Amino acid sequence: MFKGSMTALVTPFRDGKVDEKAFAEFVDWQIVEGSHALIPCGTTGESPTLSHQEHDRVVEICIEVAKGRVPVIAGAGSNSTEEAVRLSLHAQKAGANALLVVAPYYNKPNAEGQYLHFKAIAEAVDLPIFIYNIPGRSVIDMSVATMARLAKLPNIVGVKDATADLARPLKTRLAIGPSFCQLSGEDATVTAFLAQGGHGCISVSANVAPRLCAELHNAWMAGDYAKVWELRDRLMPLHDAMFCETSPAPVKYAMSLLGRMLPDCRLPLAPLSDEGKGKVEAALKKVGLL
């Protein structure tokens, strides 16, 4: 089962193009620092503004650098089912271990449309698939009932839950069973999510503090709750700062302060404001990263 601290990787840019060298070095650093899995081309990776060629290449680099040391869960979602199938097939061919497929955004499909979308993808590939439920960005909120229906398909294995509804993981566990892998998409509530039956977190903050985030999950799995609470409290200012403005602008600025990449995002995401920069820098100092 997939578990622990999984980083929703940012995609570094330089001169308007993907900075492949910085990304490769970043992936290796994440593994050395202890991240349990890596997720290229999710929302944090600015997948909506990557070309298809760029998307494919970012997934390929992540897999090439990881060399099987940790699982790679490739972002492969789209509001076009045909496009999501293509991205999924490419990730499978490239050697990904699993797929993260976002609920279709903008189209607003009903429950049947959601089911048929994921069913088409599941039937096209052999990889394990995680449903990415993020109503704040996709508008729709997949119900537990629809998720339970999808979980009957053999390669729909789990969910990235970014609802921040802490009743949801328990309801999902009771409806589907403990083997359905539940990953939090909200850093600030991760320990509560784990206590409600979750298995890990696909994390934004882990871009900046991979070792601390991994240590929190290692402590949870070891039953060292005093360590968990210590790290939970220490990391909270970072979680807040990473969403002081639209993600991933804050996390990319944080990475630039650590000297790992430029802070550049692609339009329509604006550069971080001076106020936001102050919040991010203060948080990194408070957590002990600067």
Q: Residue 237: is it exposed, middle or buried by C-beta count within 10 angstroms (0-12/13-18/19+)? A: middle
Residue 81: the pLDDT is 97
Q: 47 in a domain, yes or no?
A: yes
Q: 158 in a domain, yes or no?
A: yes
**pLDDT tens column, 165-199:** 999 999 999 999 999 999 999 999 999 999 999 99
Q: 276 in a domain, yes or no?
A: no
Residue 271: the pLDDT is 96
Residue 225: the pLDDT is 98
Q: Which of 132, 252, 253, 279 is catalytic?
A: 132
Q: 269 in a domain, yes or no?
A: no
Residue 279: the pLDDT is 98
Is residue 106 part of the annotated active site? The answer reads no
Residue 87: the pLDDT is 98
Q: 114 in a domain, yes or no?
A: yes
Distances (CA, A) of 230 to 34, 124, 190, 212, 240: 18, 44, 14, 11, 17
**pLDDT tens column, 156-172:** 999 999 999 999 999 99
* CATH code of 52's domain: 3.20.20.70
Residue 2: the pLDDT is 94
Is residue 160 part of the annotated active site? The answer reads yes
Residue 250: the pLDDT is 98
Q: Please tell me the total count of domains within the chain.
A: 1
Q: 113 in a domain, yes or no?
A: yes
SS3 string of 61-100?
HHHHHHCCCCCEEEECCCCCHHHHHHHHHHHHHHCCCEEE
Q: Give the whole-number percent of the chain exceeding pLDDT 90.
A: 100
Q: 274 in a domain, yes or no?
A: no
Residue 235: the pLDDT is 98
DSSP for 213-224 reads HHHHHHHHHHT-
Domain range enclosing 201? 4-220
Q: Which of 17, 67, 152, 160 is catalytic?
A: 160
The two tokens of residue 96 are: 């990904």
| pLDDT mean over 96-122 | 97
Distance between CA atoms of residues 213 and 208, nearest Å: 9
Q: 137 in a domain, yes or no?
A: yes
Distance between CA atoms of residues 152 and 158, nearest Å: 11
Q: Half-sphere exposure of residue 244, counting CA atoms within 13 Å on the CB side? A: 24
| pLDDT mean over 215-233 | 98
Residue 274: the pLDDT is 98
| pLDDT mean over 72-79 | 97
Per-residue pLDDT at 1 exceeds 90: no
